[in-house]
Copies of this chain bind each other. A is one copy, B any other.
Amino acid sequence: MSKGRVFIISGPSGSGKDTLLKILFERYPNMKFSISSTTRPMREGEVEGEKYNFISKESFLSMLANDELLEHNEFVGNFYGTPKKPVMDAVSSGEDIIIEVDVNGAAQIREKMPEVISIFIMPPSLEVLKARLSKRGTETKALVEKRLCAALDEIRRAEEYNYIIVNDALDEAIEDITTVINSEKFRLDRQQYLINQILDKA
């Protein structure tokens, strides 16, 4: 049996990554998604164990100390991290798993698991990016400007990824992501056992 594969998906605010992942999640119920652990308080409408496990600061720091996180970061006083165990369990049981993470987290994971396959979701153009970031309409110009800077900072690091997928039309982007995910299963390292199967018998 082949090992499961780990896919990292990143994309700036305005790339439409969240909607893409939501649809992927609905369409591919067999695909595993990594659940982040965070110390921030649960918000209204959020469900424990859906996108986040809400844990105490003590638990988080103990996971960190025991090397139980693939990546972690701190954001306005709260910790966020990707627990290592569910990812390793998926890999060893032959299941693929998707980790949604930012460019910094992706770099941390890559260092620990160089074999991860990383996909960066891009907005189709600067104009569309700007339009998406100011879409909600209620934001001040300064806030939109700040979001744009953050998005461009992420796009500057898109070069660290294996695949770049442009999210212009949503359905097309979904198809493109699944094409990449499907194609990776034909890579030599995943198919080596087939070669051995024939040669061992011959």
Chain A: residues with CB nearer than 8 A to chain B? 119, 122-123, 125-126, 129, 148, 152, 155-156, 158-159, 161-166, 176, 179-180, 182-184, 186-188, 191-192, 194-195, 197-199, 201-202
Q: Considering the complex, give the chain B residue whose CB is closest to the CB of A198.
A: B126
- 6 smallest CB-CB distances across A and B, nearest first, come from A183-B183, A164-B191, A163-B186, A126-B201, A180-B183, A179-B183
Residue pair A179, B176 in contact (C-beta under 8 Å): no
Q: Provided the pairs A164-B194, A188-B164 are in contact, do residues A155 and B199 lie with their beta carbons within 8 angstroms?
A: yes
State how many copies of this chain the complex holds: 2
Q: Provided the pairs A123-B198, A155-B195, A195-B122 are in contact, do residues A161 and B188 lie with their beta carbons within 8 angstroms?
A: yes
Q: Considering the complex, give the chain B residue whose CB is closest to the CB of A176.
A: B186
Q: How far is the CA of A187 from the CA of B148 in the complex (A)?
A: 25
Q: Considering the complex, give the chain B residue whose CB is closest to the CB of A129.
A: B198
A158 to chain B, nearest CB (A): 5
Residue pair B162, A199 in contact (C-beta under 8 Å): no
Residue pair B194, A126 in contact (C-beta under 8 Å): no
* Most B C-beta atoms less than 10 A away, residue of A152, A184, A194: A194
Q: How far is the CA of A198 from the CA of B120 in the complex (A)?
A: 14
Q: How far is the CA of A192 from the CA of B159 in the complex (A)?
A: 7
Q: Find chain B residues with CB under 8 A from A186 CB.
A: 119, 163-165, 176, 179-180
Supply 7 further A-B pairs (C-beta < 8 A) apart from A163-B188, A163-B191. Answer: A122-B194, A152-B202, A156-B199, A164-B187, A166-B194, A179-B186, A183-B184
Residue pair B187, A163 in contact (C-beta under 8 Å): yes
A-B contact pairs, 26 of them (CB 8 A): A119-B186, A122-B194, A123-B198, A125-B197, A126-B198, A129-B198, A152-B198, A152-B199, A158-B188, A158-B195, A159-B195, A163-B186, A163-B191, A164-B186, A164-B188, A164-B192, A165-B186, A166-B191, A166-B194, A176-B186, A179-B179, A179-B183, A179-B186, A180-B183, A180-B186, A183-B183
Q: Find chain B residues with CB under 8 A from A184 CB.
A: 183
